[in-house]
């Protein structure tokens, strides 16, 4: 039945705005969808699609503001097989160590560093790109552990009702903080 819906959608060409292929036992994303440049809503929920089709990226490029809604729940898009991560030593280069020191001293309002930094606009500019660890809230610049945290969506969000948990990107400063993470936080390999 998927073919019939797809043929109908393709026949519509640029005027096709919505394609619903929910529960059609699809094993891959139909690459022909890329021809539907006017597509606004694509529903591929509850199929057996293991990966994104590269052609689809042409539709999802945000700057063109074409595809507004995309539903892909209920597909084996990522493997839910956590693996044990071996403990590694934190190894930062001198630049990272120095940047962390300066950023954290500024955070503590160290007046000597605060005055000195005014003389070095380049450094000020660089450390302005620093980010904060989700666990200890200390700053880091170029070295972090990328994690994902699964949270329950807020009732005010406009999302599919089927979505029970939302993955949020979380950055941690060190292995030490990684060891203190909550049960819903997973490292990304």
Binding site for Zn ion (CB under 5 A): 133, 135-136, 173, 177
Instruction: Provide the minimum distance between the beta carbon of 174 and Zn ion in the complex, in angstroms, as a whole number.
Output: 5
Instruction: Provide the minimum distance between the beta carbon of 10 and Zn ion in the complex, in angstroms, as a whole number.
Output: 51
Nearest to 150 by CA among 170, 177, 178, 134: 170
- Complex with Zn ion: residue 147 or 177, whichever CB lies closer: 177
Pairing of strands 18-20, 41-43: parallel
H/E segment holding residue 185: strand 185-187
Instruction: Provide the minimum distance between the beta carbon of 173 and Zn ion in the complex, in angstroms, as a whole number.
Output: 3
Quote the tokens at residue 145.
């552990």
- Complex with Zn ion: residue 126 or 181, whichever CB lies closer: 181
Q: Angle at CA 30, nearest 5°, toward 29 and 31? A: 105
- Complex with Zn ion: residue 18 or 85, whichever CB lies closer: 85
d(CA 172, CA 59): 33
Instruction: Provide the minimum distance between the beta carbon of 152 and Zn ion in the complex, in angstroms, as a whole number.
Output: 24
Which residue is closest to Zn ion by CB? 133
- Complex with Zn ion: residue 9 or 135, whichever CB lies closer: 135
């Amino acid at each position: 039945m998927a073919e019939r819906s797809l043929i109908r959608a393709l026949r519509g060409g640029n005027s096709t705005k919505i394609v619903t292929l929910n529960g059609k036992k699809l094993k891959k994303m139909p690459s022909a969808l890329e021809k539907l440049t006017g597509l606004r809503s694509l529903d591929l929920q509850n199929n057996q699609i293991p990966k994104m089709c590269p052609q689809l990226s042409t539709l999802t490029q945000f700057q063109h503001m074409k595809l507004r809604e995309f539903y892909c729940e209920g597909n084996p898009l990522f493997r839910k097989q956590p693996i044990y991560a071996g403990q590694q030593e934190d190894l930062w280069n001198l630049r990272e160590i120095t940047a962390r020191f300066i950023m954290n001293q500024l955070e503590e309002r160290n007046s000597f560093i605060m005055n000195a930094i005014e003389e070095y606009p380049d450094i000020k500019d660089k450390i302005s790109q620093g980010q904060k660890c989700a666990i200890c809230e200390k700053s880091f610049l170029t070295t972090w552990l990328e994690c994902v945290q699964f949270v329950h969506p807020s009732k005010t969000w406009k999302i599919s009702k089927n979505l029970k948990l939302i993955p949020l990107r979380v950055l941690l400063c060190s292995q030490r903080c990684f060891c203190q993470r909550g049960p819903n936080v997973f490292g990304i390999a």
